Amino acid sequence: MTPSGTVYLVGAGPGDPELITVKGLKYLRQADVVLYDRLVHPHLLDQLPSRTERIYVGKIPRHHALPQDDINDLLIEKARKGRTVVRLKGGDPFVFGRGGEESAACSRAGVKCEVVPGISSAIAAPASAGIPLTHRGISGSFAVVTGHRQPGQEDVNWSGLSGVDTLVILMGVERLPHIVNSLLESGRHSNTQVAIIERGTLAGQRVVRGILGDIVSRSVREAVVAPATIVMGHVVDWTCGTAAGTCIPTETQVSSANTAEADSAVNWPAL
Ligand SMILES: C[S@@+](CC[C@H](N)C(=O)[O-])C[C@H]1O[C@@H](n2cnc3c(N)ncnc32)[C@H](O)[C@@H]1O
């Protein structure tokens, strides 16, 4: 009997292909099979040996190329053939990535699974825009929340987040009006600073700034599209990473953080 191979759940990082971990890249270069998502930068696939089988499993919002159960089955099937399987996922596999389901499926099937953490867009997109999620005297806590809900699923407990200094919202572009209303109803001030970081860490990164009271109209005017990370709180007033290494207050503005030519190979629909 062929000894079972291992499944590696590898975080590809937030977008910039250089932001994968050293360990993630090592496993990628050893892979017999790679199952990869939509948010994985195409340049990472250039790292694969030519013999490696590449399987696109999609994850376009509402249009999974493969249903999750089929992805789980495929990981197990390939590993049982003795192959080294890499499941390459955007950001961190366990941050809104369904990595927990994949690792549980492997464990139920008796297939060895190792998780290689990745840099989540939740922290990388704000950092790349110079926005610190915590800052001494300004923000001592942050929460990462999904803006997306499956039909019939309960909404996020927005009022339960009222004591959190900095809010980071993933998958929130499509439901921004609902999110903003919920936050205003739960007591957040309409002057709360907001930044939306589109295509964080990638060429063409763009930052749209505003306040809770006007961010919906600003995002419509600026035609913000996914993938984008929304950050709210006093830290948005600050931009760090200046030459002096300090953080300075910024004006409310719309800005293009990265003027490098946009990478046309990466084209993501809205969520
Ligand atoms: C399904 S979640 C996956 C999150 C991923 N596991 C992570 O840790 O980054 C996809 C969401 O992550 C955020 N996202 C992913 N890549 C991004 C990027 N390059 N810039 C800004 N936000 C990004 C967006 O909010 C997007 O809708």
Q: Which of 14, 190, 187, 193 is nearest to 96 (CA)?
A: 14
| Residue 41 forms part of a structural domain | yes
Instruction: Check if 271 has its Cβ closer than 6 Å to any atom of ligand 1.
Output: yes
Whether residues 47 and 175 fall in one domain: no
Whole-number pLDDT of residue 259 = 32
Ligand 1 pocket member 129 (CB < 6 A):
no
Asked if the model's pLDDT at residue 223 lies above 60, the reply is yes
Let me know whether 73 and 142 are in one domain. Answer: no
232 belongs to the catalytic site: no
Q: 126 and 112 in one domain?
A: no
Q: Is 269 contained in some domain? A: no
106 falls within a domain = yes
CATH of the domain at 32: 3.40.1010.10
In a domain, 264, yes or no: no
Amino acid 244: pLDDT: 57
Q: What is the pTM of this model?
A: 0.90
Q: pLDDT tens digits, residue range 150-179?
A: 878 888 999 999 899 999 999 999 999 999
Atom of ligand 1 lying closest to residue 120 CA: 8
pLDDT at 271 over 90: no
Report CA dihedral (178, 145, 271, 215) to the nearest 10 degrees: 50
Compute, in angstroms, the gap from residue 164 CA to the centroid of ligand 1: 21
pLDDT exceeds 50 at position 88: yes
Scanning the structure block, which residue is given the tokens 């600026």? 222
Residue 173 inside a domain? The answer is yes
Residue 6: pLDDT over 60: yes
135 located within any domain: yes
Categorize the per-residue pLDDT at 249 as very low, low, confident or very high, splitting at 50, 70 and 90.
confident
The structural domain count of the chain equals 2
Say if residue 264's pLDDT is above 50: no
Together in a domain, 173 and 248: yes
Residues 249 and 151 in one domain: yes
Phi, psi of 180 (to 5 degrees): -60, -45
Q: Do 192 and 239 belong to one domain?
A: yes
Domain stop point among 95, 116, 137: 116
Residue 217 lies in a domain: yes
C-beta 197 within 6 A of ligand 1: yes
- With respect to residue 112, please indicate whether it lies within any of the assigned structural domains: yes
Assess whether 129 and 247 both reside in one domain: yes
- How does pLDDT run across 17-31, given as a tens digit for each residue? 999 999 999 999 999
Ligand 1 centre and the CA of 82: distance in Å? 32
- CATH number where 162 lies: 3.30.950.10
Show which of 116, 148, 174 is a domain's final residue. Answer: 116
User: Are both 88 and 166 inside the same structural domain?
Assistant: no
Task: Specify whether 221 is located in the same domain as 160.
Answer: yes
Distance CA 35, CA 76 (A): 12
- From 116, 132, 163, the end of a domain falls on 116
DSSP state letter for 82: T
Rounded to the nearest angstrom, the distance between the alpha carbon of 130 and the centre of ligand 1 is 17
Tell me 28's DSSP state. H
pLDDT tens, position by position, 118-130: 999 999 999 999 9
Do 137 and 204 sit in the same domain of this protein? yes
Q: State residue 256's pLDDT score.
A: 44
Give me the catalytic one of 37, 78, 89, 232: 37
Residues 142 and 43 in one domain: no
Catalytic residue, candidates 78, 89, 171, 237? 171
Which residue segment(s) compose the domain that 148 sits in? 121-258
Residues 244 and 132 occupy one common structural domain = yes
**What is the DSSP secondary-structure string of 126-160?**
HHHTT--SSBTTTBS-EEEEE----TTPPPP-GGG
